[in-house]
């Protein structure tokens, strides 16, 4: 009888020790997993923000359509000004401006439009060496060209291709769930209409396979603090410069 009691007590003690250890280890493990996963979620939110901001720059508004953003980044282009040379202080003091200099170069190009050049580099070399007005204004070496670059290259410089970019809207560790996009193109303040955008990933999307109680506790804590229970970039409630809630 005493032996049985000892055995039962030993089992009970071991069980209590296990439960105590587990109660301490569970939240630690949950936080470790969360800290390991969130940088990957954040990285995608930053990339989505990059696409959304460029979409607004070219269209004047945001879109909450993933398909539209994917088509835009795959088929779109970004126009950028290629610059060589700069106006001197003396030229600026004399009234020369970027706009005037560009027009002078443009007119010089018109004067040689019937001539054939191997490329733009050869064209500019000829103008700088031979055009009287360019020489008079001291614009040798001055060049401004608008070039068009595919968006994937302009925004991500080889980070994605047309196939891999599709995964940018899939939340890591979520079993295929997509980021939640929302827009408010009618927000108005003293500056006028200010289009707003946000992209979100709730805790439940990328932490769902972890301890349910810890997930519920974390969600409840953030909601009581008035925070979004997850990771989010931007806001459709008020302008925040498209900042992330982790920044």
Residue environment code for 15-35, b if the CB has 16+ CB neighbours within 10 A, otherwise e: eeeeeeeeeeeeeeebeebbe
133 and 195, same domain (yes or no): no
The verdict on residue 133 lying in a domain is: yes
Nearest-angstrom CA–CA distance, 41 and 168:
10
- What's the mean pLDDT in 11-30? 62
pLDDT tens per residue, range 47-105: 999 999 999 999 999 999 999 999 999 999 998 888 999 999 999 999 999 999 999 99
Q: What is the pLDDT of residue 103?
A: 94
The verdict on residue 197 lying in a domain is: yes
212 and 186, same domain (yes or no): yes
Nearest-angstrom CA–CA distance, 134 and 36:
59
178 and 108, same domain (yes or no): no
Percent of the chain with pLDDT over 70: 90
DSSP state of 240: -
Pairing of strands 192-193, 188-189: antiparallel
Whether 17 shows a pLDDT value over 70: the answer reads no
Domain that includes residue 218, residue range: 33-75+155-234
161 and 137, same domain (yes or no): no
How far is C-alpha 54 from the chain's CA centre? 9
pLDDT tens per residue, range 179-198: 999 999 999 998 899 999 99
CA distances from 67 to 150, 156, 186, 244 (A): 18, 19, 22, 23
70 and 180, same domain (yes or no): yes
162 and 203, same domain (yes or no): yes
163 and 137, same domain (yes or no): no
The verdict on residue 182 lying in a domain is: yes
The verdict on residue 14 lying in a domain is: no
How many domains does the structure of the chain reveal?
A: 2
Q: Which phi and psi angles does 147 have, rounded to 5°?
A: -115, 150
Residue environment code for 102-112, b if the CB has 16+ CB neighbours within 10 A, otherwise e: bebbeebeeee
Nearest to residue 143, comparing CAs of 102, 113, 92, 115?
102
The verdict on residue 146 lying in a domain is: no
162 and 214, same domain (yes or no): yes
Whether 162 shows a pLDDT value over 90: the answer reads no
3-state secondary structure 84-127: ECCCCHHHHHCCCCHHHHHHHHHHHHHHCCCCCCCCHHHHHHHH
Q: What is the DSSP string of 131-149?
A: -HHHHHTT-TT-EEEEEEE
The verdict on residue 189 lying in a domain is: yes
Whether 19 shows a pLDDT value over 70: the answer reads no
Q: What is the mean pLDDT of the chain?
A: 90
Instruction: Give the residue with greater pLDDT, 191 vs 140.
Output: 140
The verdict on residue 24 lying in a domain is: no
Q: DSSP E strands: which ranges in the chain?
A: 77-84, 143-150, 180-184, 188-189, 192-193, 196-202, 230-234
């Amino acid at each position: 009888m005493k032996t049985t009691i000892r055995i039962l007590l030993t089992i009970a003690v071991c069980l209590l020790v296990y439960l105590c250890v587990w109660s301490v280890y569970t939240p630690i493990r949950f936080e470790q997993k969360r800290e390991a996963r969130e940088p990957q979620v954040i990285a995608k939110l930053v990339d989505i923000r990059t696409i959304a901001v460029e979409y607004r720059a070219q269209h004047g508004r945001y879109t909450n359509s993933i398909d539209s953003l994917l088509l835009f980044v795959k088929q779109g282009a970004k126009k950028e000004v290629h610059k060589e040379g700069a106006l001197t202080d003396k030229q600026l003091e004399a009234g020369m401006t970027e706009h005037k200099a560009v027009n002078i170069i443009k007119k010089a190009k018109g004067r040689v439009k019937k001539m054939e050049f191997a490329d733009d580099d050869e064209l500019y070399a000829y103008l700088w060496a031979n055009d009287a007005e360019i020489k008079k204004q001291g614009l040798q070496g001055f060049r401004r060209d608008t070039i068009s670059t595919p968006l994937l290259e302009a925004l991500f410089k080889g980070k994605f291709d047309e196939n891999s970019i599709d995964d940018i809207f899939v939340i890591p560790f979520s079993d295929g769930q997509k980021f939640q996009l929302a827009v408010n193109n009618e927000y108005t303040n003293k500056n006028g209409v200010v289009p707003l955008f946000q992209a979100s990933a709730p805790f439940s999307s990328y932490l769902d396979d972890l301890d349910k109680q810890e997930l519920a506790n974390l969600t409840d804590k953030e909601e009581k603090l008035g925070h979004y229970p997850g990771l989010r970039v931007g806001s459709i409630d008020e302008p925040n410069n498209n900042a992330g809630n982790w920044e």
